[in-house]
Amino acid sequence: MPSLCIIKGDGVGPEVITQALILLREIDFKFEAEEGLAGYQCYLDCGTPLPDETIQMCKKSDAILFGAVTTPADIDNYFSPIVRLRKLLNLFANVRPFFSLPIKSSRKDLDFTIIRENTEGLYSGKEKLTRNGAEATRIITRSASEKIFRFAFELAQKQKRKKITVVHKANILRLTDGLFIKIAERLHRHYPEIEMDYMLIDTAALNLVRKPEIFDVIVTTNMFGDILSDEAAGLVGGLGIASSANIGDKKALFEPVHGSAPKYQGKNTINPLATFFSVCLLLEYLGDAEKAKRLREAIFKVIKAKFVTRDLGGNAKTTEVTEEVIKCYRKLNDYN
């Protein structure tokens, strides 16, 4: 029986994770759960946004289900617990799938994945004050670049995808992104059946808006991938449906892409589907691909029936969406 570390976090995080746990139990997924604390409220209560006890729970678990946390920008010695966990657990690959949904706000014929290196780049946390202002160090290493490209090629093989687009800014960042590209070229020789092309970050941002159907797998560095994936969410319905997996050699963490959205806290109006799609990724990671497939089908049926929250054009409450997804899942399960 797999063990999960549950981190609910701040704002709407506890609401969406509570609904995810109800969903997992109602689809008869057997698991053990232990809850850890993290986030801004944890900082206020415990003096740290990520206690050692939570880190140890994460290390002992088979996977982590993470809600959302508030990360204020103006508090000295405060750090993002999710960024810290990615580094501590070496969750080097951030994987965000995007696909068309049966709603008006979703573009048609889209099915691509953004994979970003998750542990370094401009999110390395290497910042310092200078006499004239401040500096941030962008770190790109051979070892991390090799790992992310090997992961991307193997994921493309597994999912029968045909092309990888390397997104970079090597015309300006000649050393860091220059190295990133060289690593891509070297590893591509081992995967000749997969096409690979290159695209500047500004061109990629434009093409995501103009012709996103050209993309299959995007591989890029940390900050570029963070920005592009939020842009991509706008193509398929918004952050309320965008899911995310943070994958390492021995551990994985799953989370909705959206933030803590404190203004919606306690109103039972937040869209739980980003978390539910993240649950699908979790199920696949833990080896239950059949449940993941059926759950994804149930979510699609609920969306097609327009039984959704306001951000997707409906009037359903958070808890009502959960109940409807469970109902559809059970019908699909009985049919099969």
Would you state the pLDDT for residue 333? 81
State the Cα–Cα distance between residues 88 and 59, nearest whole angstrom: 9
Q: Give residue-wise pLDDT tens across range 147-162.
A: 999 999 999 999 999 9
Would you state the pLDDT for residue 3? 97
Does the annotation count 230 as an active-site position? Answer: yes
Order of strands, edge to edge, in the sheet holding 243-247?
Answer: 32-36, 3-9, 63-68, 252-256, 243-247, 93-99, 111-117, 217-220, 163-168, 195-200
Four-point Cα dihedral 297, 106, 224, 184, nearest 10:
60
DSSP assignment of 59-110: HHSSEEEEEE----SS-TT---HHHHHHHHTT--EEEEEEE--SSTTSPSS-
Would you state the pLDDT for residue 291? 96
Does the annotation count 163 as an active-site position? Answer: no
Q: Which of 59, 60, 126, 202 is catalytic?
A: 202
State the Cα–Cα distance between residues 316 and 302, nearest whole angstrom: 11
Q: Give residue-wise pLDDT tens across range 244-293.
A: 999 999 999 999 999 999 999 999 999 999 999 999 999 999 999 999 99
Domains 1-95+240-336 and 107-236 belong to one CATH topology:
yes
- Is a pLDDT exceeding 70 seen at residue 332? yes
Would you state the pLDDT for residue 64? 98
Contact predicate 317/310, CB 8 Å = no
State the Cα–Cα distance between residues 295 and 333, nearest whole angstrom: 9
* Residue 320 burial (CB count, 10 A): 15
Assign 251 to helix, strand or coil. Answer: coil
Q: Give residue-wise pLDDT tens across range 125-155.
A: 888 999 999 999 999 999 999 999 999 999 9
Q: Which of 10, 177, 226, 311 is catalytic?
A: 226
Average pLDDT rounded to a whole number, residues 294-320: 96
State the Cα–Cα distance between residues 66 and 54, nearest whole angstrom: 12
Would you state the pLDDT for residue 75? 85
DSSP assignment of 260-281: --GGGTTSS-S--HHHHHHHHH
E strands, the chain, in order? 3-9, 32-36, 63-68, 93-99, 111-117, 127-129, 134-136, 163-168, 195-200, 217-220, 243-247, 252-256
Q: What is the pTM of this model?
A: 0.95
- Nearest to 92, CA basis, from 60, 69, 129, 124: 124
Confidence of residue 124 (pLDDT cuts 50, 70, 90): confident
Q: Give residue-wise pLDDT tens across range 162-199.
A: 999 999 999 999 999 999 999 999 999 999 999 999 99
CB-count exposure of residue 22 (10 Å: 0-12, 13-18, 19+): middle
- Is the CATH number of domain 1-95+240-336 3.40.718.10? yes
Does the annotation count 74 as an active-site position? Answer: no
Q: Which of 40, 43, 123, 329 is catalytic?
A: 123
Assign 6 to helix, strand or coil. Answer: strand
Which architecture, in CATH terms, is 107-236? 3-Layer(aba) Sandwich (3.40)
Does the annotation count 211 as an active-site position? Answer: no
User: Tokens representing 208?
Assistant: 């995501």
* Residue 60 burial (CB count, 10 A): 11
Would you state the pLDDT for residue 334? 75
Q: Which of 8, 147, 169, 301 is catalytic?
A: 169
What is the pairing mode between strands 111-117 and 93-99?
Answer: antiparallel
Would you state the pLDDT for residue 336? 64
Does the annotation count 288 as an active-site position? Answer: no
Contact predicate 240/308, CB 8 Å = no
Average pLDDT rounded to a whole number, residues 109-114: 97
Q: Give residue-wise pLDDT tens across range 6-64.
A: 999 999 999 999 999 999 999 999 999 999 999 999 999 999 999 999 999 999 999 99
Residue type for position 114: I
Contacts of 49 (CB under 8 A, 6+ apart): 38, 39, 40, 42, 43, 69, 71, 78, 79, 80, 81
Asked whether the CA dihedral 10, 70, 263, 205 is positive or negative, the reply is negative
- Angle at the Cα of 116 from the Cα atoms of 236 and 192, rounded to 5 degrees: 100
Q: Which of 62, 78, 230, 293 is catalytic?
A: 230
Contact predicate 217/152, CB 8 Å = yes
What is the pairing mode between strands 252-256 and 243-247?
Answer: antiparallel
Average pLDDT rounded to a whole number, residues 234-240: 94
Q: Give residue-wise pLDDT tens across range 79-91.
A: 999 999 999 999 9
State the Cα–Cα distance between residues 21 and 38, nearest whole angstrom: 18
Average pLDDT rounded to a whole number, residues 81-109: 95
Would you state the pLDDT for residue 326? 97
- Is a pLDDT exceeding 80 seen at residue 331? yes
Boundaries of every domain in the chain: 1-95+240-336, 107-236
